[in-house]
């Protein structure tokens, strides 16, 4: 243990000395080198994030957790602290601002998603009930729901007569995602639902949707989705980005389930874990954007 601690501090001191030497040779600090030598996207933003977090300056360390409204002031502080002339380096401020918007936005997105996850479904809340009924209408537009408490809910993959009990694990987040999928990607959602009802591929659509919500949530909280979001969101990633990612995961999991050709639903956990590992492996690539239809804004190229 003592040797490991000594090695850690040795490497840390050596790294700081190396950065000092490189700055003297190039005339640029680490933040400048990253912004000028790395193209916009996850590779740049993650390097900037690591550099700020690993700084010996508390002001730089805390810059990744400021309020979005304070980002411009934070950029000025960074430039001053690093003794960078903004008039000579105008593009640096723009690049740093774009990175900080993504970094701070990701943290705020986690908080927003967590809030939805913690809010339980309340059948006495008219808005909750309205969303639930909207889910039915989007998935079964030609089949009116005969009653709020009904066995018909099983037709879209809930476990019983009242879906509210199935949202316990993911709270409102599960419902938000299912409604978004059914409304935003209605054609694919209805096709996936139809396939899930076939004996060969049988699984409970809504329950799987809640489970995939859990998968998306864990990818977000663990930081694995930074690669994807930093590549597709030129500024702060939003709840819409998260929900679109959920749609992608639902569609991809459905295809993966068919490819795996499981014997029955008892193999769900095995297939899910294998799917999870595949997504994690994809996200290790800094160039990765999970959803092909989420092209990064052209404005990102100029940041």
* Predicted pLDDT of residue 256: 96
Q: Is the CB of residue 181 less than 8 Å from the CB of residue 247?
A: yes
* Average model confidence (pLDDT) across the chain: 88
Burial 163-191 (b: 16+ CB within 10 A, else e): bbebbeebbbbbbbbbbbbbeebeeebee
Place 263 in a pLDDT band, splitting at 50, 70 and 90.
confident
- Secondary structure element (H or E) that encloses residue 118, with its range: helix 90-118
C-alpha to C-alpha distance for 224 and 164, rounded to whole angstroms: 30
Q: Is the CB of residue 204 less than 8 Å from the CB of residue 273?
A: no
* DSSP assignments along 32-86, one per residue: HHHHHHS-TTHHHHHHHHHHHHT-S-HHHHGGGGS-GGGHHHHHHHHHHHTT--T
Q: Domain coordinates of the chain in residue numbers?
A: 23-117, 124-284
C-alpha to C-alpha distance for 199 and 170, rounded to whole angstroms: 27
Place 126 in a pLDDT band, splitting at 50, 70 and 90.
very high
Average pLDDT over residues 129-146: 95
> In angstroms, what CA-CA distances link 174 with 10, 81, 113, 177, 252?
47, 44, 10, 5, 18
Place 297 in a pLDDT band, splitting at 50, 70 and 90.
very low
Question: Three-state DSSP class for 257?
Answer: helix
Say what the pTM is.
Answer: 0.86
Q: How many CB atoms lie within 10 A of CB 192?
A: 24
Closest by alpha carbon to 33, among 14, 46, 19?
19
Average pLDDT over residues 176-190: 95
Place 1 in a pLDDT band, splitting at 50, 70 and 90.
low
- pLDDT over 50 at 173, yes or no: yes
Q: How many CB atoms lie within 10 A of CB 245?
A: 22
- pLDDT over 70 at 151, yes or no: yes
For the CA atoms of 58, 59, 61, 62, the dihedral, rounded to the nearest 10 degrees, stands at: 110
Count of all residues that appear for the chain in the document: 303
* Predicted pLDDT of residue 18: 44
Give the tens place of pLDDT for each residue, 36-68: 999 999 999 999 999 999 988 998 999 999 999
């Amino acid at each position: 243990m003592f040797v490991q601690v000594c090695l850690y501090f040795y490497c840390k001191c050596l790294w700081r000395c190396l950065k000092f030497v490189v700055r003297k040779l190039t005339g640029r600090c680490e933040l400048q080198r990253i912004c000028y030598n790395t193209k916009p996207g996850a590779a740049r933003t993650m390097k900037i994030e690591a550099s700020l977090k690993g700084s010996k300056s508390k002001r730089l360390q805390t810059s990744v957790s400021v309020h979005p409204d304070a980002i411009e002031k934070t950029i000025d502080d960074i430039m001053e602290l690093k003794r960078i002339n903004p008039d000579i380096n105008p593009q640096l401020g723009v690049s740093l601002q774009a990175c900080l918007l993504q970094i701070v936005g990701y943290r705020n997105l986690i908080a927003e998603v967590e809030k939805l996850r913690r809010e339980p479904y309340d059948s006495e809340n008219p808005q909750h009930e309205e969303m639930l009924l909207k889910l039915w209408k989007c998935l079964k537009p030609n089949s009116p729901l005969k009653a709020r408490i009904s066995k018909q809910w099983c037709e879209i993959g809930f476990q019983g007569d009242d879906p509210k009990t199935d949202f316990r694990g993911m709270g409102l987040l599960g419902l938000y995602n299912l409604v978004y999928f059914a409304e935003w990607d209605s054609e694919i959602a209805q096709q996936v639902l139809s396939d899930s009802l076939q004996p060969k591929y049988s699984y409970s659509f809504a329950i799987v949707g809640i489970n995939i919500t859990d998968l998306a949530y864990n990818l977000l909280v663990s930081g694995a989705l930074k690669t994807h979001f930093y590549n597709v969101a030129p500024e702060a990633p939003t709840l819409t980005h998260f929900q679109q990612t959920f749609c992608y995961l639902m569609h991809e999991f459905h295809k993966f389930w068919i490819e795996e050709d499981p014997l029955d639903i008892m193999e769900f956990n095995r297939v899910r874990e294998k799917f999870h590992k595949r997504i994690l492996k994809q996200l290790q690539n800094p160039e990765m954007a999970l959803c092909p239809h989420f092209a990064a804004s052209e404005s990102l190229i100029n940041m």
